[in-house]
């Protein structure tokens, strides 16, 4: 993990950042970086910045046979995860209230996984991913009692046959 910190520092230095802190969680292989300068530039380009730096770190780690390090800059990922969780919960409530399937916006695989995991424990809805590439999204579907009853009856008829 020490090698990961050296790599992150080298990348940030080469990008021209001088005022930053790095907090490493060796156990979970996470790195939290806080860049204290050029806040306008950082905020404007944060998603691309995180994705790009993370990609470079992953490539270097793979080449050195190191497990991946997941990078967050200025708490962007943490805040984004919370936003996705809240969006998934609100969508589940809406799907139950309207008894209709509700799509979430297109998300990357990591974000879709967060939505699936969050709603997996919700007994009244199910989730499914649709689409291709960058347009892939999650649909939240209400589970109706009739579907549950039909499934139980189908299981009974299959076990009797």
> What's the mean pLDDT in 115-127?
94
The CA distance from 92 to 89, in Å, is: 5
Q: How confident is the model at residue 116 (pLDDT cuts 50, 70, 90)?
A: very high
**Residue 154's pLDDT is what?**
53
Q: Residue 149 pLDDT > 80, yes or no? A: no
Summarised one tens digit per residue, pLDDT across range 6-34 is 888 999 999 888 899 999 888 888 899 99
Q: Residue 150 pLDDT > 90, yes or no? A: no
Is residue 76 within 8 A of residue 46, CB to CB? The reply is yes
Q: Residue 156 pLDDT > 80, yes or no? A: no
Q: How confident is the model at residue 3 (pLDDT cuts 50, 70, 90)?
A: confident
79: closest CA among 102, 55, 57, 47?
47
Domains and CATH numbers, the chain: 2-74 (3.30.300), 78-150 (3.30.1370.50)
Q: How confident is the model at residue 1 (pLDDT cuts 50, 70, 90)?
A: low
**Residue 9's pLDDT is what?**
92
b/e burial code for range 55-90 (CB count within 10 A of at least 16 → b): eebeebbeeeebeebbbbbbebbeebeeebeebbbe
Summarised one tens digit per residue, pLDDT across range 48-92 is 888 899 889 889 888 888 888 888 999 999 999 999 999 999 999
Q: How confident is the model at residue 146 (pLDDT cuts 50, 70, 90)?
A: very low
* pTM: predicted TM-score of the whole model, two decimal places: 0.72
The CA distance from 72 to 70, in Å, is: 7
Is residue 72 within 8 A of residue 42, CB to CB? The reply is no
């Amino acid at each position: 993990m020490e090698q990961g910190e050296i790599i992150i520092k080298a990348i940030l230095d080469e990008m021209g950042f001088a005022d930053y802190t790095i907090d490493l969680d060796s156990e979970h292989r996470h790195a939290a970086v806080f860049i204290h300068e050029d806040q306008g530039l950082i905020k404007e380009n944060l998603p691309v910045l995180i994705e790009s730096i993370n990609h470079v770190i992953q490539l270097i780690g793979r080449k050195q046979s190191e497990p991946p390090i997941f990078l967050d800059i200025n708490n962007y990922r943490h805040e984004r995860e919370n936003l996705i969780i809240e969006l998934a919960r609100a969508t589940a409530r809406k799907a139950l209230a309207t008894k209709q399937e509700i799509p979430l916006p297109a998300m990357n695989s990591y974000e879709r996984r967060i939505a699936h995991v969050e709603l997996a424990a919700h007994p009244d809805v199910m989730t499914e991913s649709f689409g291709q590439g960058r347009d892939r999204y999650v649909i939240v579907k209400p589970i109706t009692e009739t579907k549950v009853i039909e499934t139980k009856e189908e299981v009974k008829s299959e076990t009797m046959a």
